[in-house]
Structure 1
Amino acid sequence: MRLYLQTVPVNADAPRYVQITLEQDLLGGWTLYRESGTQGGRATLKREQYLERDEAIAAFEKSRDAQLKRGFRLMFSQGQEGPYGR
């Protein structure tokens, strides 16, 4: 699953973005990646490991909801049906 969220550009400032990705690893665990930064600028990548799928999906959804609350808008969604990956 992957989501790409972005803020609305204000003035001449580049918009901020967050990309949240959830992938299953080769051993059956799950990895949640959260990349954030300014479009065309520096970015930060954080990685969290989960053993259970349900726990990983809950963390994915919590991260998504937090960014939507902060004013980010969903620009791209891949790998899950429904609005906002639900």
Structure 2
Amino acid sequence: MRLLMQQRPDASDDAPRFVQLFLQPDLLGGYTLVRESGHIGGRSTVRREQFLDQSSAFAALEKIRDQQVKRGFQVMFTQGASAPR
């Protein structure tokens, strides 16, 4: 599953920010939540979190998504069989 979020550009010269979330199964039966964030066209930061099951990883993804929506980000792209609500 993949989710891409972006802030609207403002009047300043700064590039808009983005957050990209990936939810991937690992080889040991768990799940990895990868969060990449930064300015579009600039450097980004990547963070990884490990989860034992899909439900807890999906809950963490939804929590991060909701936090970013409150900060002014909009969902631009969603990919995956079970898109978040």
Task: Please tell me whether residue 24 in structure 1 is matched to residue 58 in structure 2.
Answer: no
Give CA-to-partner distance per residue, 1:57-76, whole Å, 9 cap, x none. Answer: 11011011110111001100
AA at the equivalent of 1:15: P
User: 1:51 corresponds to which residue?
Assistant: 52
Instruction: Please report how far the alpha carbon of residue 37 of structure 1 lies from its aligned counterpart in structure 2 after TM superposition.
Output: 0.1
In the alignment, the residues of structure 1 paired with residue 15 and residue 55 of structure 2 have an alpha-carbon distance, to the nearest angstrom, of 35
Assess, with a 3 A threshold, how the Cα gap between structure 1 residues 71 and 80 changes in structure 2: closer, same or farther. farther
Residue number in structure 2 paired with 1:66: 67
- In the aligned structure 1, how far is the partner of 2:31 from the partner of 2:42? 28
Of all paired residues, the percent bearing the same amino acid is 57
Query: Alpha-carbon deviations, 1:35-79, whole Å to 9, x = none?
Result: 000000110000000011111111011011110111001100011
Count residues in correspondence. 84
Flag as ranges the 4+ runs of structure 1 deviating above 6 A: none
TM superposition score normalised by structure 1:
0.91
In the TM superposition, what is the alpha-carbon distance from 1:13 to its structure 2 partner? 2.0
CA RMSD of aligned residues (A): 1.2
Q: Which runs of 5+ in 2 are unaligned?
A: none
Compute the TM-score of the two structures, normalised by the length of structure 2: 0.92
